[in-house]
Amino acid sequence: MTRQFSIIRVSRGVLLACVAWVALFAASQASANDMARGKQLYALCAQCHTENGMGAQLYLAPAIAGLDEWYVNAQLLNFRSGIRGTNWQDVGGLRMHPMSRWLKSDEDVSAVAAYVSAMPKVDPPAVVEGGDPVTGKALYATCASCHGPEGQGMKTMNAPPLVHMSDWYLVSSLEKFKAGIRGWNPQNTNAVMMRGMSNLLPNEQAIKDVVAYITTLNVQEQP
Amino acid sequence: MAELIPTQPDPGHEDDHHHGEQSFVSKYLLSTDHKVIAMQYMFTGMAMALIGGFMAYAFRMQLAFPGMDVPFFGIVTPANYVALVTNHGAIMIFWVAMPVLIAAFGNYLIPLMVGCDDMVFPKINRLSYQVFLVSAIVLLSSFFVEGGGFGGAWTTYPPLSAKAEYNLTPLGSSLFIGAVGIEFIAFLLGGINFITTAMNSRAPGMKLYDIPMVIWMIVIASILFMVSVGPLLAGAIMLIFDQQLHTAFYDPNRGGDPVLWQHLFWFFGHPEVYVVLLPAVGITAEIITVFSRKKLFAYRTVLNTAIGTGVLSFCVWAHHQFISGIDPRMANVFTLTTLLISIPIAEMMFVYIATLYGGAIRLTTPMLWALAFIFEFLIGGVTGIFLGASGADIYMHDTYFVLAHFHYTFFPIAIIGTYAGVTYWFPKMFGKMMSDRLGKLHFWGTIIPFNFIFIPLFFLGAGGQHRRIYDFQNFPALAGEGMQDLRILATVSLVVMLGFQVVFFYNFIISLMRGEKAGKNPWKANTLEWTAESPPPHGNWKVLPTVYRGPYEYSVPGREKDYWPQDEPN
Amino acid sequence: MIQSYLAQGSTYAGDIDFLFDMIFWIVGVWFLISSGVFFWLVFKFRVSGNEGTAQYITGEEKSQKRWITIPHLLVLVCDVFIIWGAVRVWYDIKQHLPEPDREVRVITQQWAWTFVHPGQDGNFDTADDIHTVNELRLEKDAVYHYHLTSNDVMHDFSVPVFRLKQDAIPGRVITGWFTPTLLGEFDIQCAEICGIGHGLMPARLVVESAADHAAWMTEQSPVKFAAVAPQVGEN
Amino acid sequence: MKPVATTRSAAGIPTGLLAVWWIVASEIVIFGGLLAAYLMYRLSHDAWAGHAANTNTAIGTVNTFVLLTSSLFAVLAHQAAEKGDGKKAARFLLFTIGGALCFLMIKGYEWNYEISHGMTITTNTFWSFYYTAAGIHASHVIAGAIIMAVVAKDAAKGLELQRVELIGIYWHFVDVVWIFLFPLLYIAK
């Protein structure tokens, strides 16, 4: 192997010059602040989650704009390490797992998380039909203990916000939790807990009902 | 029927091509003059080449220095990366090689070399350029729609290309296919003129074997293109229907078959290689005969090998699909036909090398380009054997070896062939000589880095690295230290090579402004275009020429001059 | 030649390497001869300025044409050798299917690999199937049949150390074979562009001894998932 | 002012004829590719015979007859042009255009009926082929009719009479495509 590459040695000089050139740009890159870096890296996310973070059901990408920073950060790390999104039936997760590995360093992950959480919240269009918010309200009582009565989420409980979220995504997540497609990995303790909680919803209809109630909580936040 | 055609006027009386002062628009944008249309094609092609080259720069920087903020581009995301490689390939083949080699040289040379005043259907000719321009605009616009440019490789295999949920570019993918389809229509329109002009409008006395080789090659290439492109056009309509109307021609879940597209694509895709190869081979034939002052060795053999290659090229398409799930028994047939195609191509190369024997070789800039074409294409040719052999292709398929191989064919064709042609016909096109010194600087500054780009890629391919992978750090066992060095070497060479193109544009402009005036025939060549003024006026000649002999009568014994123009009575 | 870059990990890797070497020497000799003649001619017959006279050779006479027809017949002879070698290797790998010791199902999708072992009962689609994502564990020296499918677009199951490559086509199950002969960890690549995540679709191949493999199978049974992510953030 | 190039005929074939044959040849490979793809699918899907049973053979037959008649008018127009009778040629061309319009109207009725009965381009791949192939053919009919109108306008004044033959060749080609489509889409069940 080394013999064939002797030509490389000859051109080391050229390479070094080039590396110096690159280092120059790398330096300017490091000085850029986190937000700019996050925006830059979000270019890939925007391919599916769209420019304003509205998400697109066709691409299995939920709305993410304005999600809590700690939550985005934790999920990106989970995806990247394969704690989440590596179940063989989790079609969307199997796409997100490789995409998250595009973020090479933890700094990049937190830059993206900061950028996403700073995006203005959106109200994705409701697409799930057949849910009854009245029944859902009763079912939601259990959820409220962690996710909060307004669905605003609680960091202390490791519970993400549920409002301003794509309703189809809430349904599919609950279904995945129930089927053990999410929360199968014991290392992902929060998801394991959620997997247990999801079993309190007895059937498909109950899932739709509770999601229908959650979407009624989607009021624009007061400034 | 024949009586409806007006009798041919005596060329002597057909000289009043007087045009008054024309506005810029009607002279350069809406002209029906074949030379103006040729220039339109050439400059559009060059502009697209710059765009394609810039794309190559962006993704090669990403490969060499993963994750870097590429100067003048920004960060290359995986989505950018696939869109860049896809459009780089499509642009370089459909919007650079084809317009420059076939349309620009075809339009410029066919009327001049067969001795008539214009194309047969000047308005169709103008239309073909306008359609082509539309296709280029449609392609470039695909980058600015939602979702961005299409990123499913220039081969556009469905279901990836057919469904937005897979390719994530709901509009980009349709614009891409649409642009390619429109471009095909432009070249079908152009083909009407190439065929009819070369066949029907030849100067009196010009027999079939008196036609210069480059004209033959463009005609054969046009026929190959016309025959091969039809099924793909039908397939492209089906693919756009799949994308936008949600039909299921290529959807396996609803009764379609994705492999059908591969057959339609490669039935076109392989002949397409020869469509662009043949004009470049023709250009080379003109140049090496002039600058070695030799008759082309075995003119008819060259012609026959070109036709043989063309016919065989329709029987080899599935060698792109050896491992695509086609019936394995079919692979044996296609291995056979693929290796058979080495026979006419090898013979063509032998003919060119034999032509050099006994010549008086003048190493001018165009000659250097032509010689480089022969040598570099030889490398491209021999490395193709590895891929045509089905057994070896199991390993080599879709590796960098393939990539290096076809760049060793397409680069000589599209870039070296173009530079050879431009430097050779520049005096005719613009009436000025190009600087030979700058030309040679540009030549070496292009050829040496070119080899340093692609030879390392052969090693990468032999090491099992695949194409279209945007970051090799994900493959710990494959992305060894030495491999990354090779990628950096290739990228640095690319940047150097792109930098040297500035020399060409500088030379182009400076020669245009201050170049030495070229006479009618600065190279002392035989073919008819050199008997016209430089640059030829509208209508080309005052008196259209008559032909008395073949195009390659150089150094004929017993003659004082070592060339014998085709239109000289004796 | 290839083996200096990449170990030979399957029974047929050596055959492909031999075929590659054979073609390399055949075309290498041709390349050296033609480019040697080419450069010699350019060197010998070059002139400076506009000096010198050339010979008049039409190339149409038999005695002249000999110079191209003989090499061209020799090319044909070489072609026959290459075709013979290629078809032999091709037949062994793609056309003939030896009796399997084990089977594995390979499911591709955007942008992940799922490998399914039939488990203890030897049948697919039963409760004890073992699914692994992005990691394929194989037993050394066992003849494997793979059944390759795709859930969405075209992918390509490429194992460079095995010298194996096969496209996965949605709607079809493609069966082939291999026999691992080398212990260790290797890369699996996708070799057919499959969308924006194509470059982020690696999988690991682990070839282990029969005993280790059996132990792993028991440990994994009935349903347990591997979370494997090759190290990122390094380099 | 025409270039001299247009008036030459070194190969002995009129230039316009050469160009039309080029167009026809490139169209043949387009339809050839489409029909070859259709045949491959058809042979591997026995169920398509059932879908094909829903096509209206009677309407297809009438349309075949209409196109064949229009082709006959194109031949008569050519004969008239040969004799130098531009007016007569133009009149026959108008009959041909009438045939084309008649064909399109029948086609429109047929499609309307089929679509309203739930057989659309996305129903299944047979119907996708049915609409795609017939649609591309119909677009050629429309293009042919427009060109014929232009040619007829000139021919009525006795100008460019050679074009009558050229458009006739194109029209026969359009007709022949239908002769292939009709059995493949309607009759084979």
Q: What percent of chain A has pLDDT over 90?
A: 52
Residue A5, domain member (yes or no): no
- Residue with the larger pLDDT of the pair A11 and B46: B46
pLDDT band of residue B1 (cuts 50, 70, 90) is very low
Q: Of A97, A122, A147, at which residue does a domain stop?
A: A122
Residue C234, domain member (yes or no): no
Q: Same domain, yes or no, for A144 and A200?
A: yes
Q: Same domain, yes or no, for C66 and C111?
A: no
Report the domain count for chain C: 2
**Does the pLDDT of residue B181 top 90, yes or no?**
yes
Give the CATH number for residue A39.
1.10.760.10
B74 lies within 8 A of chain A by CB: yes
- Closest partner residue to B192 (CB to CB) among D5, D23, D40 is D23
Residue that has been written with the tokens 């082929």 in this structure: D129
CA distance A11 to chain C (A): 21
CA dihedral (B216, B221, B227, B229) in degrees, to 10, reads -160
Q: Which residues of A touch B482 (CB under 8 A)?
A: 1-2, 5, 8
Query: Are the beta carbons of C225 and A82 separated by less than 8 Å?
Result: no
Residue A198, domain member (yes or no): yes
Q: Of A107, A122, A137, at which residue does a domain stop?
A: A122
Residue that has been written with the tokens 């999410």 in this structure: A182
pLDDT per position as a tens digit, B272-311? 999 999 999 999 999 999 999 999 999 999 999 999 999 9
Query: Are the beta carbons of B118 and D125 separated by less than 8 Å?
Result: no
What CATH number does domain B28-531 carry, 3.30.930.10, 3.40.120.10, 1.20.210.10, 1.10.4190.10? 1.20.210.10
pLDDT per position as a tens digit, C35-83? 999 999 999 999 987 778 889 988 888 888 888 889 989 999 999 999 9
Q: Same domain, yes or no, for C89 and C107?
A: no
Q: Is D104 exposed, middle or buried (0-12, 13-18, 19+ CB in 10 A)?
A: middle
The set of chains that have 3 or more CB pairs under 8 A with C is A, B
Q: Same domain, yes or no, for A91 and A161?
A: no
Q: Same domain, yes or no, for A79 and A158?
A: no
Question: Residue D61's CB: how many other CB atoms inside 10 A?
Answer: 13
Q: Same domain, yes or no, for C66 and C168?
A: no
- Domain interval for residue A216: 127-223
Return the residue in B326, B475, B561 with the most chain C beta carbons within 10 A, the one to mutate for interface testing. Answer: B475
Write out the H or E segment, with its range, that includes residue B536.
none
pLDDT at C222: 61
Phi, psi angles (nearest 5°) of residue B360: -115, 85
pLDDT at B564: 93
Residue A8, domain member (yes or no): no
* Average confidence score pLDDT of chain B: 91
Residue C121, domain member (yes or no): yes
Q: What's the CA gap between C67 and C19, in Å, rounded?
A: 30
pLDDT at B13: 39
Listed by number, the residues of chain C in 100-159 with a beta carbon closer than 8 Å to a beta carbon of chain B are 110, 152-154, 156, 158
Q: Same domain, yes or no, for A108 and A159?
A: no
Residues 6+ apart with CB under 8 A from A212: A128, A131, A132, A133, A136, A167
Residues 6+ apart with CB under 8 A from A30: none
- Domain interval for residue C60: 2-45+54-95
Listed by number, the residues of chain B in 148-177 with a beta carbon closer than 8 Å to a beta carbon of chain A are 148, 164-165, 168
pLDDT band of residue B389 (cuts 50, 70, 90) is very high
Q: What's the CA gap between B394 and B411, in Å, rounded?
A: 25
Residue A215, domain member (yes or no): yes
Tell me which DSSP letter residue B230 carries: H
Residue C135, domain member (yes or no): yes
* Average confidence score pLDDT of chain A: 84
Could you write out the DSSP letters of every residue in B119-133? -S-HHHHHHHHHHHH
Phi, psi angles (nearest 5°) of residue A32: -65, 145
Residue C225, domain member (yes or no): no
Q: Same domain, yes or no, for C133 and C208?
A: yes
CA distance A58 to chain B (A): 6
Q: Same domain, yes or no, for C214 and C112?
A: yes
Q: What percent of chain D has pLDDT over 70?
A: 99
Q: Average the pLDDT over B457-467 and give the result.
A: 90
C15 lies within 8 A of chain B by CB: yes
- Residue with the larger pLDDT of the pair D5 and B536: B536
**Does the pLDDT of residue A2 top 50, yes or no?**
no
Contact (Cβ atoms closer than 8 angstroms) between residue C199 and residue B81: yes
Tell me which DSSP letter residue C227 carries: -
pLDDT at A113: 94
Range in A92-101, B472-481, D127-136, D148-157 with the lowest mean pLDDT: B472-481
Q: Same domain, yes or no, for A73 and A101?
A: yes
pLDDT per position as a tens digit, B97-121? 999 999 999 999 999 999 999 999 9
Q: Same domain, yes or no, for C121 and C61?
A: no
pLDDT at C225: 44
Q: Same domain, yes or no, for A185 and A150?
A: yes
pLDDT at B5: 38
Q: Same domain, yes or no, for A163 and A105?
A: no
Q: Which residues of C touch A108 (CB under 8 A)?
A: none
pLDDT band of residue B474 (cuts 50, 70, 90) is confident
Q: What percent of chain B has pLDDT over 90?
A: 83
Q: Average the pLDDT over B49-63 and give the result.
A: 95
Q: Same domain, yes or no, for C108 and C211?
A: yes
pTM for this entry: 0.92
Q: What's the CA gap between B112 and B541, in Å, rounded?
A: 9
CA-wise closest residue to C3 among C26, C28, C32, C24: C24
Q: Same domain, yes or no, for C33 and C87?
A: yes
Q: Average the pLDDT over D39-61 and give the result.
A: 88
Question: Residue C231's CB: how many other CB atoms inside 10 A?
Answer: 9
pLDDT at A19: 55
Domains of chain D and CATH, by start = 16-42+58-187 (1.20.120.80)
D49 lies within 8 A of chain B by CB: no
Q: Same domain, yes or no, for C140 and C215?
A: yes
pLDDT at A15: 52
Bridge partners of C132, per DSSP, are C115
Give the largest Cα separation in chain B, rounded: 76
SS3 content of chain C, % helix, strand, coil (to 5): 35, 25, 35
Residue C153, domain member (yes or no): yes
C76 lies within 8 A of chain A by CB: no
**Does the pLDDT of residue B14 top 80, yes or no?**
no
Contact (Cβ atoms closer than 8 angstroms) between residue B301 and residue C68: yes
pLDDT per residue, tens digit, chain C (235 aa), is 888 888 899 999 999 999 999 999 999 999 999 999 999 999 999 998 777 888 998 888 888 888 888 998 999 999 999 999 999 999 999 999 999 999 999 999 999 999 999 988 888 888 888 999 999 999 999 999 999 999 999 999 999 999 999 999 999 999 999 999 999 999 998 999 999 999 888 899 999 999 999 999 888 876 444 444 444 333 3
pLDDT at B114: 94
- Closest partner residue to A15 (CB to CB) among B78, B459, B492 is B492
Query: Are the beta carbons of C229 and A185 separated by less than 8 Å?
Result: no
**Does the pLDDT of residue A12 top 80, yes or no?**
no
Give the chain B residue whose CA is nearest to the CA of A10: B489
Q: What percent of chain D has pLDDT over 90?
A: 68
Q: Same domain, yes or no, for A140 and A216?
A: yes
pLDDT per position as a tens digit, D82-99? 998 889 999 999 999 999
Q: Same domain, yes or no, for C120 and C172?
A: yes
Q: Same domain, yes or no, for A91 and A143?
A: no
Report the domain count for chain A: 2
Contact (Cβ atoms closer than 8 angstroms) between residue D160 and residue D14: no
Q: Average the pLDDT over D74-80 and give the result.
A: 94
pLDDT per position as a tens digit, B194-221? 999 999 999 999 999 999 999 999 999 9
Q: Average the pLDDT over A29-41 and give the result.
A: 75
ipTM for the predicted complex:
0.90
Residue A19, domain member (yes or no): no
Q: What's the CA gap between D63 and D77, in Å, rounded?
A: 21
**Does the pLDDT of residue B540 top 50, yes or no?**
yes
